[in-house]
Structures are given as structure tokens and as C-alpha cells.
Copies of this chain bind each other. A is one copy, B any other.
């Protein structure tokens, strides 16, 4: 598909991380297009449609559902070309999945990688309906030499000074995970255009970059795919020129719905003194969260929150904590630990692309 893309001279944009605490017009443009989930929406088990986070690298493509075709190519026993009706005639399942952008928390890193400047809101949980990818791959027959499945979306644009489509790969074993869906519905409605309609991949437990939107092609390949979104970003690289480990599953994280009410401009939280129920969610990709701790004194002391089990695998878990708010200022913090023993760090762990920053959230409040 790539040979049909036009060629433009490199823009040679400077994307060196910046020490500037303020944000450039490029960052604001991205923040105005992409969408975080306002944290008060942590109250919903399933994020209402339109409040789920949204990251679109290029433009939302115009795709006609009736003309849409998914191509399955490469090292398969039988190549397949399927329309939406063909896919919807297959067995369907609905999974509740928490999705998070790998760049969530990027704006909290110093120096700040120049990209979509996420604070903490690049999250959401939806009920995705589709057909398991595994059965489709088994039906086509995975060739003996197949190492990876390469997924190509219909969105195109320039990045890294090259015009490209959005493409990501999964190891065949990961693509065969029973949780992976080819999804055509979100929260019981046809997949909206901005979430990848008519068809997207949903890879539970992984950061969002794996869940390719506007999915048009799957190719089984004999070697690792080295497209920009595999090697040029979505890597935990620190030094310049360092490749870094690939970004894969979501790291453990808890968030609190900021209590009380906000000041419009500063978003400072104002809380009446007395008992306050702090509530939020925690998740850890494919792992289970086993502990959520809350500090109401800026990290000096921590106490355990009441944690609910997950409604499904790869879905966030609700937690609650009773706080006696006394007049004055306070800094609320929350941190989660998963069943692999990973606990959120107190400070961001820096990397060049601003990936996987799961440092604990801090919420400053005024109690009166």
C-alpha cells in the first residue's frame, strides 16, 4: 500500500525535548485535536462515548463502511478479503477494556518530549464488540515461517520526515491471544469514525498504539517489522540514537477523581471540610492491581484504599478511601501496586519519547 503515498521534502522539525515549562503552538494544536478523559469521568464503570481519550496521529480518514475491505495477506494458508458484513457474520464477543495512551503523563517529564502533551487524561474504558482475531488467523492458516502480524491503518501523513501510513506489528503469539478483537462497535453503537470506524484492532492490556484504528490490512511476515511506529517511537529510549525497549503493555497506575469543585482557570480543587470520599480507578495492563495507597499529606504517610476486583481482565478496578478533610491546603497522592510487585514511582522516569510515565498523580486542594 505504501507505494501509493506521495513524496514530500523533509520538514526537518526540531523535536528535541524542551526545558521550557510553557507549551508551544504545535503542542497546543495537538492538545486541541486529541482528547483526554476529564478525570471526574473516573466515576463511570464504562466511559460514556465521547469522553474516552482519543489520539489521532494524522487526520480521521473518511471511510465508507459499505466499500470497506479488510485484507489478510502474507504467510497464510489462504489469503482473505472481508467486508464488514463478512466480519459481522462471524462469532462476536464484547469485552470491557481499559485503554491508555503510551504517552499519557508525557507533559510531566523534564525535559519534556515534544509531542502530544498529555497530562493524565489519556485513558478510558469501553465495551468493544467484534470478532476474535485468533479464529480468523486460524481459519486462514498461519504459515510456518510467520513471525509477526503487521497491521496497517488507513490514516496517513508525514512523520519522521516521511509520508507513511500508521502501521504496527505484534508477534504472532500476541496476535493469537484470545483477547484480541477486530472491533466494529463501541459501547453498543457502530464504531465512531474517530475511534477507528468501521473497524479497528483492540489489544487488551497494551498501550493504545497497538490497537490500530481504521484497520485495512493484516500481513503475516517472516521478520520483525521496522516501521516508524515500531522503531522510531513507542520505545523506552533514553540516549540519542538508542533504540530502547519496545513499549508494550500498560504499566500499573491509579488515578483519583479530583474531589470537591474546581476553580475555572487554575483547576485548583476546593473542598469543604469534613468527611470526603475519595474515589478512583487503578489498572495494570494484563496484570491485576493488588494494592492502592493514598496519601493526603503530600507523601509523608500512606494508607490503604479499599480496592474492588476488576469486572474483566484488562479492565480498571474501582477504589475508595475515606478522608477527613481539615481546613488548609493538602496534596493528595495515590499509588498502585500490581501482582507482579511493580509499584508506581513517585517521580517520572524519563525517556526520549515520553512513554509510559506512570508517576503518581498529585492533586493540590484547598479545604475550607
Cβ–Cβ contact B58 & A264, under 8 A: yes
B194, A264: Cβ atoms closer than 8 Å: no
Please determine whether A368 and B6 come into contact, CB atoms closer than 8 angstroms.
yes
Q: Which residues from 73 to 108 on chain A have a C-beta closer than 8 Å to any C-beta of chain B?
A: 107
- Which of B43, B107, B159 makes the CB contact (< 8 A) with A264? B159
- For chain A, the bracket of interface size reads 35 or more
Q: Given A119-B32, A194-B50, are A114 and B265 also a contact pair (CB < 8 Å)?
A: yes
Check A13 against B58 for contact (C-beta < 8 Å).
Answer: no
**Residue A33 at the B interface, CB < 8 A?**
yes
A163 to B56, CA, bound (A): 36
A26 interface residue (CB < 8 Å to B): yes
Contact status A159-B265, CB under 8 Å: yes
Q: Is the CB of A157 within 8 A of B368?
A: no
The residues of B that contact A184 with a CB separation of less than 8 Å are none
Q: How far is it, in angstroms, between the C-alpha of A30 and the C-alpha of B32 when the chains are bound?
A: 10
Closest to A158 in B: B263
**The stretch of A17-25, A212-220, A316-324, A349-357 that contacts the partner chain:** A17-25
Pick the residue among B28, B30, B119, B156 that contacts A117 (CB under 8 A).
B28
Contact A36 B32, CB 8 Å, known A48-B192, A270-B6: yes
Residue from the list B36, B38, B48, B157 in contact with A59, Cβ < 8 A: B38
Q: How many angstroms from the CA of A121 to the CA of B194 in the assembled complex?
A: 15
- On whether the beta carbons of A264 and B38 are closer than 8 Å, the reply is no
Q: Is A306 an interface residue when CB atoms closer than 8 A count as contact?
A: no
In the complex, A35 has a CB within 8 A of chain B: yes
List, in ascending order, chain B residues with CB within 8 A of A366's CB: 8-9
Q: Check: A276 CB closer than 8 A to any chain B CB.
A: no
Residue pair A51, B6 in contact (C-beta under 8 Å): no
Residues in B with CB closer than 8 Å to A159 are: 263-265
Residue in contact with A23 in the complex, picked from B23, B258, B270, B272, CB distance below 8 Å: B23
For A6, give the chain B residue with the smallest CB separation: B272
Q: Known A49-B192, A264-B159; judge A23-B22 contact (CB<8 A).
A: yes
- Interface residue? A1 (CB, 8 A): no
Q: Which residue of B lies closest to A263 (CB)?
A: B158
B194 and A262 contacting across the interface, CB-CB below 8 Å? no
Q: Does A118 contact B (CB under 8 A)?
A: yes
A311 interface hit (Cβ, 8 Å): no
Query: Is A115 in the interface zone, CB < 8 Å from B?
Result: yes
* CA distance in complex: A69, B1 (Å): 56
Please give me the residue from chain B that is nearest to A155 by CB atom. Answer: B261
Asked if A135 is at the interface of the complex by the 8 Å CB criterion, the answer is: no
Tell me, yes or no, whether A57 is within 8 Å of chain B by CB: yes
Q: Please give me the 4 A-B residue pairs with the lowest Cβ-Cβ distance, nearest first.
A: A50-B50, A22-B22, A159-B264, A158-B263
